Structure 1
Amino acid sequence: MSAVEAAARNKNNYLEAKSAFNRRDLDACMAYYSADHQMRSREVGPGREHIRAFLASMHATWSNLEIVAEHVVAEGEWVMGRCTSSAIHSTSVMGVAPTNRRIETTFWDLHRFNHDGLIVETWNIVDGLAIMQQLKAGRVD
């Protein structure tokens, strides 16, 4: 497989993983991660159970969480996405009681894929300030 073909396959797998996440089908989502997947944005050991726990916690914390991949760039074994996410603030987050308001933010994620098209490494950057500003806007002090 050429680098161009691998990049196209990896981009498609990235988008399919996001689609499975949005359907709340973590088993289908995990099928795109290697067994020895490594989250690089957190201090955890290798193993796809860490990314599964992280993604499950996102659904548990944020009701109606949906991710939209706005821009996705793929080159060889690398895929980077700029995504928007929206959810309902229905549980306590950052010490703020639920407001049942819609919260929106942007995040960027970078993934390295192996020769089989599975994600082996992940880095994430979230616009936490946007989340905090929206949570504070919903507070009643």
Structure 2
Amino acid sequence: IGLGSTVVGALVGLLGFGLFLWLYQFRVFDFGEQWWTVWWAWPLCFVLDDLAYYWSHRFGHRVRWFWASHVNHHSSQHYNLSTALRQSWTGFLTLGFVFTLPLVLLGFHPVMIAICGGFNLIYQFWIHTEAIDRMPRW
């Protein structure tokens, strides 16, 4: 399941990234041509990306449309690292990426969002194990 969701996620992710690049021209704020050098934008982007992930995940538990795709993730008897990879191949059909769209429209470059999202995923990966008793939650 993890391999399939990774392959489908990569293909759909490229389409989503293209959409984000296109929407970036309609941003409200502009961090300049050298957006990667604006140091304070990175932690802000990380926190806002985590907030977007929170709402996406909350909808995954509260809204049937999202739960239909998210339920595979919670089908394990044990809480281990493979549980983090147990993702549906149909996650893109829920259109959960719309929770991240406001970041693009606020002016965060899609590459910055992708990098911050990657760090967020690393954190999420490690909280899906019984080996770590409790991770800090900010």
TM-score (norm 2): 0.28
> 1 or 2 for the larger relative contact order (CA 8 Å, sep ≥6)?
2
TM-score (norm 1): 0.28
Larger fraction in helix = 2
